[in-house]
Amino acid sequence: MKQPIRFFAIGLFTAAILMFGYFSLFDQSTAVENAPVEDLISQIEDEGYRVITEEEFITFSLLDLDEADVKDKQVEKEKEKEDKNKDSKKESDATKEEKKDSKDTSSDKKKDEKDEKKSSDDKKEKSKKKKSETITITTDQGVVTEDIADMLYKEKVIDDKQKFLDYMEDNDYSPYIQIGTFKVKKDMSLKELAKTFTTYPGSK
């Protein structure tokens, strides 16, 4: 009988300890719940922590996000600016190169035009000089139109002997050829040549 009573007493003792523990904890949580907020804040701050409200927490969170966004935007803007500067520099270099090429081309074109003009002027001058060159042709007794055509062709006053002969015949100049010394120019027309050789004593 002693042994069951002992076990029963041990059981009661254990239950009392458990209940004491439970109520100790329950009483502490109740004490924390019932404690004023100011006391709790001061206790936490004494431990080195900082207490903020939910609104303050949200505000700080948003500020952190905004600062991060601002930084990201600044980085993006700087990158865009650098890209624009690079593109602008490339365009500027390309434009300078184009202008240089254009200038060189324009300079070359002007030079070519000058050379062409000079060459053309030289040719004209030579042609003019050649045409204005005076040639002396002498006709003697018995000289006929064919002889004059040969002399004119030889001196390069005319390009086509037959054309000269036909003109003299068609316009009835051949029978009136004069004897003497005649001065002719390379730029004279067939009519002028015909009149020169049919006018006595020749054109001086």
The reported pLDDT for the residue numbered 162 is 92
The reported pLDDT for the residue numbered 153 is 92
CATH of 130-197, one of 3.40.50.740, 3.30.1490.480, 3.40.50.1950, 3.40.190.10: 3.30.1490.480
If we measure between CA atoms, which residue out of 176, 178, 185 comes closest to residue 201? Answer: 178
pLDDT tens per residue across span 75-111: 787 888 888 777 777 776 766 676 666 665 666 666 6
The reported pLDDT for the residue numbered 199 is 86
Q: Domain segments of the chain: what residues?
A: 2-46, 62-92, 130-197
pLDDT tens per residue across span 8-45: 778 777 888 888 777 777 655 555 566 677 777 787 78
pLDDT tens per residue across span 139-165: 888 888 899 899 999 988 889 989 999
